[in-house]
Structure 1
Amino acid sequence: MFKPAVPALALLLSGAVLAAPVELKVSLKVGDQPLVLGQTYQNPAGNAYSVNLLRFYLSNVALVRRDGTEVKAGGLTLAEFKPGGPTQEVTVLKMEVPTGDYAGIRFSVGVPRELNHLDAAKQSAPLGVGSGMYWSWNAGYIFYRFEGRYMRANTPTPFLLHLGGDAAMQNVNLADLESYSTPIPVSEGGGTVQVNLDVSKVFSAGVGGEPYDLSVAKYTQVHGGPVALQAYTNLQGAWSLDTRTQASTQPSISGTVTVPAGMPLEKVVVWLCPAKDAMCLEPPLKALRLSGSGRSAGYSFTDLPPGRYAVWAFYDKDGDGVYKHGSDTMMVPYFKGSPMTMPMGNHTMLQPTLVMPPAQGINLELK
């Protein structure tokens, strides 16, 4: 569930830019498996533990465009996971953003400083005292409230981790501006951003490899100090953008290459490469050799993660499948646009065709 303190988005739109609804959903994980509240797991220190409550504040939420600029969502949200409630794909924030293809999301876990030191008794949800996220003995809010039980001498024993304080504000960046491997498409009908929080990473070893051992008193009741800093560092890397939950309707990139008269199709190799700024980065992600008769042949690359790709074709004169100088013959690609070629001295390479498949057009369930 989520409890917004103020409207989820205050966004000014101008001109013909369309706004579309977007939901931010959170799933709790233990490794790559869904967290089940109350179920027993084992941490690296050998403690058998279960989780029965997790709450945290989210603020400064922004979708990130491919050029690095942000579309900000205002407001503050308290995400809450407790027994009897869901832990997977839980909507924690609703917003409206311009339609388009985004490169990721950024957000903070915690309460901004200007709100963190208000009188909780005078605030409404989610900052009121009823939130269960306020330290009566210490000014400020609890940013993460993580509680459960572990087995100590066969006896279920409570443990808790409460992180807070201005210095514990955690900035999470899940935007890939290099390869655009995790696109977030927002159509007129809206979109969904799904993120994972791997709670098991809380228990990762600290500096020097000291285990996060719940049987040691300093790890059982944590409100601050070195253990809180260790947990803060561990949680920084516990977030990920979930791409597998996006729907799949077109798990391939395909097209047609037309070669000049007299060029055998089997001499042409097509590459699919991870791309940035239309450049094909070696080695190719996938490669295939054309076949058939005539002057045209199709290509298809399947089982692809979402991302930014370039499609290259070249005349493989010596048959080794490696692109290099050696052909001055023009070839014409046809893929989602006008044909283009790029003559380069004594050879010709296909002008890279930049392909940015939306997440819903890629089969993300295949592993």
Structure 2
Amino acid sequence: MNAVWKSARWVLLPTLLLLQACGDDAESRKTYTVRFSPQVRQEALTCQGLYTDIGTSRSTLELLDFKMYVRDVTLVRANGERHPLKLEQDGTWQRDAIALLDFEDGTGTCRKETNSQMHREVVGSAPEHDDYTRLEFKVGLPPEINHLDAERQAAPLDKTPMWWQWQTGYKFVKLDIRTPANAEYVFHLGASGCRGTPGEGYNCASNNQATITLDDFSPETNQVVLDVAGLYAELDVNRVPNGTTDMMPGCMSGAGDPECPALFSQFGLAADGSPKALPKTFFRVR
């Protein structure tokens, strides 16, 4: 009897494993696309545009470059059930749970960037549901991989313009514009105050990890708007650095930079990198 059972068990084992696999995939999966739309209020932000009424001085801006790393993109159902997207591994823009967004095409005022390729969406699969109502994602790279050598990494971590040599880490956001008073007004978000070596590892005073949560978001019908008019709303983009307390136009995530707090706040970060309430002025849903 035992021999018969053992024989039957080996015959049944593949069937049981198959049934188990079916149970694990009981929820059918669907490919979802989370789209990002850079704008100036209601107008598309492009490399050919001149945009008015920007910041406290009601200045103008032109785009030079705009790239951003996002990760851990998650769809949330009405009942609170969370489903991280399993990203397509496309070998160029998406790797593991990380995606690089690139909003410039190398034309017009963006000609400093010779790459014409763009990537304005994150594509991945999740269980198929029709009641996804919230989107969550993080901006930037996790601390454990932030200090890799970009020249030795696979895409999308191989983009040397996103490597920050003096901070020994990646730029999570690279948004460069031109204004009448500043040929280059920059916003480079990344970890700051970093010390260490590749062998021993790094410690940063501020990891500056931003978590973005957007309600009333359906991947089928909505987009994530990145409104640079909202980003600069509390800043004078024509401000000229004084060379003492303000060394450069814009913000490179330095703790004492007077322009960083207003920009950080649009990512739900305090000046020291700790979380705070996210205003719906730069990130919003359309």
With normalisation by structure 2, the TM-score equals 0.65
Give 1:46's aligned residue: 58
2:176–2:185 Cα contact (<8 Å) kept: yes
Give 1:214's aligned residue: 238
Distance 1:52 1:121, change over 3 A: closer
Offset at residue 13 of structure 1 (A):
7.6
Give 1:112's aligned residue: 142
1:58–1:78 Cα contact (<8 Å) kept: yes
Distance 1:194 1:221, change over 3 A: closer
Q: Which secondary structure state, in structure 2, belongs to the residue aligned with residue 151 of structure 1?
A: coil
2: CA distance between counterparts of 1:151 and 1:163?
A: 23
- Structure 1 segment 301-320 matched on structure 2, within 5 A: none
2:30–2:126 Cα contact (<8 Å) kept: yes
2: CA distance between counterparts of 1:13 and 1:21?
A: 20
1:142–1:164 Cα contact (<8 Å) kept: yes
2: CA distance between counterparts of 1:81 and 1:65?
A: 29
Give 2:284's aligned residue: 240
1:108–1:171 Cα contact (<8 Å) kept: yes
Q: Which secondary structure state, in structure 2, belongs to the residue aligned with residue 157 of structure 1?
A: coil
2:74–2:83 Cα contact (<8 Å) kept: yes
1:50–1:148 Cα contact (<8 Å) kept: yes
The structure richer in strand per residue is 1
Query: Does residue 157 of the first structure (1) align with residue 178 of the second (2)?
Result: no
Query: Does residue 59 of the first structure (1) align with residue 71 of the second (2)?
Result: yes
Give 1:16's aligned residue: 26
- Structure 1 segment 1-367 matched on structure 2, within 5 A: 14-42=24-52, 43-44=54-55, 45-74=57-86, 75-83=97-105, 91-100=120-129, 101-128=131-158, 130-152=159-181, 157-165=183-191, 167-175=207-215, 182=216, 184=218, 191=220, 194-205=223-234, 211-217=235-241, 218=246, 220-225=249-254, 226=257, 227-236=259-268, 237=279, 238-242=282-286
Distance 1:216 1:163, change over 3 A: same
Distance 1:167 1:18, change over 3 A: same
Could you tell me which runs of 5 or more consecutive residues in structure 1 were left unpaired when the two chains were aligned.
1-11, 176-181, 186-190, 206-210, 243-367
RMSD of aligned Cα (Å)? 2.5
2: CA distance between counterparts of 1:228 and 1:215?
A: 13
1:24–1:192 Cα contact (<8 Å) kept: no
Offset at residue 228 of structure 1 (A):
2.1
Write the letter of the residue equivalent to 2:184.
P
Offset at residue 123 of structure 1 (A):
1.5
Distance 1:17 1:77, change over 3 A: same
Identical-residue share of aligned pairs (%): 25
Runs of 4+ in 1 over 3 A off after TM superposition: none
Q: Which secondary structure state, in structure 1, belongs to the residue aligned with residue 24 of structure 2?
A: coil
Q: Rg larger in 1 or in 2? A: 1
With normalisation by structure 1, the TM-score equals 0.52
1: CA distance between counterparts of 2:35 and 2:217?
A: 16
Greater relative CO, 1 or 2 (CA 8 Å, sep 6+) = 2
The alignment covers a number of residue pairs equal to: 208
1:125–1:131 Cα contact (<8 Å) kept: no
Write the letter of the residue equivalent to 1:163.
L
Q: Which secondary structure state, in structure 1, belongs to the residue aligned with residue 123 of structure 2?
A: strand
Write the letter of the residue equivalent to 2:145.
L
1:38–1:52 Cα contact (<8 Å) kept: no
